[in-house]
Structure formats: C-alpha cells, structure tokens
Amino acid sequence: MFHPVSLIIPLMILLPNLLFFKFEPQNMPGETARNLLLTGAEFIGRMGVITVPLFYSLHLQNVYEVLSLVVMLLSLGMYYFGWGRYFMNGRAYRLLFTPLMGVPVPLALSPVLYFLSASVILHSGYLLIFSIILGAGHIPASLSDYKRNT
C-alpha cells in the first residue's frame, strides 16, 4: 500500500541533490574510470532507498524507533551541514568529500546512516538491504574520489 507521508524520507535527502544539478561544482576534475561494481551497487541502492519507503508506514511507538528517528535527524543535520559548507564556500568539488567534524566522506556516510535508521522506523527489511547496498557502493566510491582529489 502506498504511504504518501513516507515520501518525506527520500525527499529530505534528495533536496540538496536537486540544487547540485543547478549549481555544479567548481574545479571538478576530468572524468576518471569508476569501478563498475561500486557504480552498480550505488545505483541499485539509490533506486531502492528512494522507492521502498513509499510502501511502508512510519512507526514511532517504541524507544528504539524514537532513537532511530534521532539518529536520522542527526545524520540529516550533518548531511545538510556538509551541503551548506559546499554551497557557502564556492562549490569546490573537493568539499563534497572533505571530512566534517572528523567524519570522512560525510556526504556519503550520513545518507547511508539516515536510510539505515529509516529502515527501523519503517520496519522495512527491504530498506535495510538497499541501504547496505547503497553504502557498499557509495562510501567506497566517495572515498576513492576523496583520495584522488587531495
């Protein structure tokens, strides 16, 4: 069954990405070869974490669900802070990967943590699986981009 309220979960992560397409990075390096396995996992994970929440309702009755919501909000805050740093500092490409408060590749780690936590409040094993797949592709690819551009 479709749950329109759950649309807010992927939408909160997608919003800064929409601005990214309008305001492209500065000093972006040339195209480099990407690992097809990581790229495939990242794509499959993204499609899953965007669509799966639409079919689950939110649950916030138990302590562990509320704690998961807190982790979601903290990771979303870090994600927005990282995007804010990017937009406020000239949209330098390296800022998409530069550590934030000691956290490496925060714009890759925070959405994965966000969706892992969302899987708890949605009671969705599928979202958990797609979040792990997203992390398996997105985090190593971002780390590789960070190492290549520093």
Residues 120-144: pLDDT tens digits?
A: 999 999 999 999 999 999 999 999 9
If one counts the domains in the chain, the total is: 1
Instruction: List, in sequence order, every residue forming a beta bridge with 92; answer none if it has no partner.
Output: 26
pLDDT tens track for 66-95: 999 999 999 999 999 999 999 999 999 999
Q: Does residue 26 lie in a domain region?
A: no
Query: What domain range includes position 103?
Result: 4-21+35-148
Q: Does residue 29 lie in a domain region?
A: no
144 CB burial (10 A radius; 0-12, 13-18, 19+): middle
Scan for tokens 């949209």, then name that residue. 91
Q: Does residue 30 lie in a domain region?
A: no
Tell me the C-alpha distance between 20 and 14, whole Å: 10
DSSP state of 101: T
Q: Does residue 66 lie in a domain region?
A: yes
C-alpha gyration radius of the chain: 16
